[in-house]
Amino acid sequence: MKTTLIKEAQRVLNVNYKEKGYSIPCKGLYPFQWLWDSGFIAIGFAHYDMPKAKNELTTLLSAQWANGFIPHIVFHEVSETYFPGPNYHRADLHPLSNKEYPSTGMTQPPVIGFVLEKIYQIAENKADVLNFIKENIGKIYNNHLYFYTNRDPKNEGLVYIYHNWESGTDNSPMWDGIWATMNSPEYSFERRDTAIVDVSQRPSKREYDHYLHIVEIAKKHNYNDQKIAELSPFLIQDPLFNSMLIKSNSSLIELYKIIGDNDDKIAQLQKWQEKSITSFNHKLFDPELGAYIHYDLRNEKPIRMVSSSSFAPLYAGIPSKEQAKELVNTMLTKFGGKGMYLCASFDPTSEHYNPKKYWRGPVWINLNWLLYYGLLDYEYNNIAQKIKSDSIEIIEKVGFYEYFDPRKSEYNNKTKGYGGSNFSWSAALLIDLINN
């Protein structure tokens, strides 16, 4: 059974891999290269086709900007099936943008540092992959330097995101309160996603107005970081995003130690780590909720809601043992009810929860993957195994979709997953889960 599933996962990855050396998340809905997708996809390829894993990352890193920034979408092809494309985003307005690769002017969770460590762990030919890492690790270090230099205006060790698309959790109810503060114009534009996926599973038109409005502000200021920090109505310290950065810092430290001769870089990374982890626990842990929360830097207030992002710090070793215990307790009481697959992307006990709508409730395999490894690190083996077996079970039942209903009662032999089908990271991370 597992062998068939792995074969099927490989088929999905192979179909989505393009000749130019990158993978699309899925056909139609996402026809370009996405940053964190590529990271997770590389982990899947590393298990059976290391050259493709390396190409995936090389191609992504070719689109890096001169200031270390890595964009969230690289538009390798012209496509009629996606809005908004390169002519809308106009990343070229930024003086240091990459002139060869059209992209967006926003980024996504910085996963590539830990992806490098992960593919090294998976590799049979360690020397070969270490050479690849030697060639590329400096680019990731520069990317982290970009974050700490440009995205941390208060020097707290916590970086901000200026757009919900940077979070990866695009339409989370977390952002609803921010949309209410924004007086976004009603834009007229043609959605392409809702021609492919049922509208009930995608963000609303009004939400897209807000998404575009933030891009308009950034474009007006040529994607200048200082101006964005000053003016963006969306300015968030996100626990998922910062956990990915912190985990990637740790991976860079480990890799530099293996490579040798990089004491200055290691020292700088350790300095960032110390500050980031201290601030993270001080500012983003909410003892009453027993979870990490988002902080709204623009309106200077915590967003006191729980989502799967609230548990991501487990993957980065951020919580103390006691905090980890509280997180697990919150996960089990709010998300782990009878008849529920772990882990819904938003608090199922909240009135804002919607089990079908993108990041407002469905299960996502990438978050499950992070939680699985995080829980193992803290020795919560049973829950880790449950997350792993839930992930495998839903994929076995419906296939490699983008996201899945957390309610077991919804599954019968006609059930489908939600969003895109033949979705690359669901396939890639399943391969890793099964092989672990």
Active site residues: 170, 402
> How far is CA 257 from its chain centroid?
26
Could you give the string, one character per residue 70-109, with x where binding to ligand DGY holds by CB under 6 A and - elsewhere?
A: --x-------------------------------------
Please tell me whether residue 18 adopts helix, strand or coil conformation. Answer: strand
Q: Closest approach of Cβ 165 to ligand DGY, in Å?
A: 4
**185: phi then psi, degrees, rounded to nearest 5:** -65, 160
**Considering beta carbons, is residue 225 or 402 the nearer one to ligand DGY?**
402
Which helix (H) or strand (E) segment holds residue 33: the answer is strand 33-34
Q: Closest approach of Cβ 425 to ligand DGY, in Å?
A: 12
Least Cα distance to 326 among 295, 276, 291 occurs for: 291
Q: What is the DSSP letter of 103?
A: B
Tokens of 358: 């993108």
* d(C-alpha 139, C-alpha 248), whole Å: 13
Q: Closest approach of Cβ 51 to ligand DGY, in Å?
A: 27
User: What DSSP assignment string belongs to 171-227?
Assistant: T-GGGHHHHHH----------SHHHHS-GGGS--HHHHHHHHHHHHHHHHTTT-HHH
Under rule CB under 6 A, how many of the chain's residues touch ligand DGY? 3
Q: Closest approach of Cβ 106 to ligand DGY, in Å?
A: 8
Degrees, nearest 5: CA angle 238-163-91? 130
Show the DSSP H helices in 29-168 as ranges.
35-46, 50-62, 86-89, 112-122, 126-150, 164-167
Determine, following the binding rule CB under 6 A, whether residue 170 of this chain makes contact with ligand DGY: yes
Q: Taking the CA atoms of 202, 388, 28 and 106 in sequence, report the sign of the dihedral they define.
A: positive
Which one-letter amino acid corresponds to residue 287? P
Q: Closest approach of Cβ 1 to ligand DGY, in Å?
A: 32
Among residues 101, 132, 141, 165, the one that binds ligand DGY under rule CB under 6 A:
165
Degrees, nearest 5: CA angle 152-378-406? 85
Determine, following the binding rule CB under 6 A, whether residue 209 of this chain makes contact with ligand DGY: no
**417: phi then psi, degrees, rounded to nearest 5:** -80, -175
**Considering beta carbons, is residue 176 or 377 the nearer one to ligand DGY?**
176
Determine, following the binding rule CB under 6 A, whether residue 162 of this chain makes contact with ligand DGY: no
Q: Closest approach of Cβ 396 to ligand DGY, in Å?
A: 26
Tokens 């208060």 belong to 154
- Angle between helix axes 239-259 and 112-122 (nearest 10 degrees) is 50
* d(C-alpha 242, C-alpha 312), whole Å: 9
- Whether residue 339 contacts residue 407, with contact meaning beta carbons closer than 8 Å, is answered with yes
Tokens 């900007």 belong to 65
Q: Closest approach of Cβ 196 to ligand DGY, in Å?
A: 11
* d(C-alpha 15, C-alpha 12), whole Å: 5
* d(C-alpha 351, C-alpha 360), whole Å: 11
Q: Closest approach of Cβ 37 to ligand DGY, in Å?
A: 9
Q: Name the residue number minimizing CB distance to ligand DGY.
A: 165
* d(C-alpha 327, C-alpha 308), whole Å: 11
Q: What is the DSSP letter of 296?
A: E
| Contacts to ligand DGY by CB under 6 A | 72, 165, 170
